[in-house]
Amino acid sequence: MTSFRSDFLATLSSRGFIHQTSDDAGLDDLFRIEKVTAYIGFDATAASLHAGSLIQIMMLHWMQQTGHRPIALMGGGTTMIGDPSFKDESRKLLTVEAIEDNLKGIRASFSRYIDFSAGAVMVNNADWLLGLNYVEFLRDVGRHFSVNRMLSFDSVKTRLDREQSLSFLEFNYMILQAYDFVELSKREGCRLQMGGSDQWGNIVNGIDLGHKMAGASLFALTSPLLTTSSGAKMGKTASGAVWLDESMLSAYDFWQYWRNTEDADVERFLKIFTRCRFPISPSSPLSADRRSTRPRKSSPRK
């Protein structure tokens, strides 16, 4: 494991947030010598994000806490297409009105974790994607993409290997996500895109596009796709998604989801989803000689 010297990367690494980066040393140096602007994108496929999205939100939280500038990118434009990454089928296409309604609900979730009055930014990629001229976009942006390379990405290859349909619309998603990185680099001085490990191919496309179009030096950082010790996907239960919006899931049910965390996951989840300090002191209810009592766990929504 890389030993990072910058506060931000050292914090993420010690808490289990880092799956891979495009350049460990280069990114570490960047965070040590300047105030870095970085973003994570969130598509508005529902009226709320769910608990699985908290790992990304907490990455933005720690970025701000260590003195840097996070951007929460709302996917008002890309949601109209739908990310095909590792999906078995096409997403249901949403109307513009439905996307706007979803965005209103999602925006409210961020205020609990990120202070937008202290330098953090929230932007919507619809601001630059919806007004694009298609022919000009193909000429200026599309020419930098190799179809052969796009077909080699696991997110696409998996669908094709299963002989599942991948529409031309979805195939364009990775181009638009890459273009988001270029636009944010130009508009906001953004140097880093973060996301789940399933977004690696899309993020690397943005790095390459930024270099080809503007000579920009950009970086990628992904987090692991989180599952419980029993292999269950984070943010999902037998009864449905664990929504962050209290109007879609009661505070009690949200708390109960975390209260039922498997013992083997407690310390790992506290590192990722809370601001608890580590290592744990011997007097803590979570210390090795006291874990058998199954401690009460607080809700990350608070």
- Three-class DSSP category at 220: strand
Give this prediction's pTM.
0.87
Q: Which helix (H) or strand (E) holds 71?
A: strand 69-75
Phi, psi of 193 (to 5 degrees): -115, 135
Least confident of 7-11, 83-87, 116-120: 83-87
Of the spans 3-12, 85-94, 221-230, 236-245, which averages the highest pLDDT?
A: 3-12
Q: Find how far residue 41's CA is from the centre of its chain.
A: 6
Q: pLDDT tens digit string along 39-75?
A: 999 999 889 999 889 999 999 999 999 999 999 999 9
Question: To the nearest whole number, what is the mean pLDDT of the chain?
Answer: 87
pLDDT band with cut points at 50, 70 and 90 for residue 240 = confident
Contact 221, 192 (CB under 8 A): yes
Total Cβ atoms within 10 A of residue 119: 14
Amino acid at 32: R
Single out the residue of 199, 207, 202, 301 nearest to residue 245, CA to CA: 301
Contact 185, 216 (CB under 8 A): yes
pLDDT band with cut points at 50, 70 and 90 for residue 83 = low
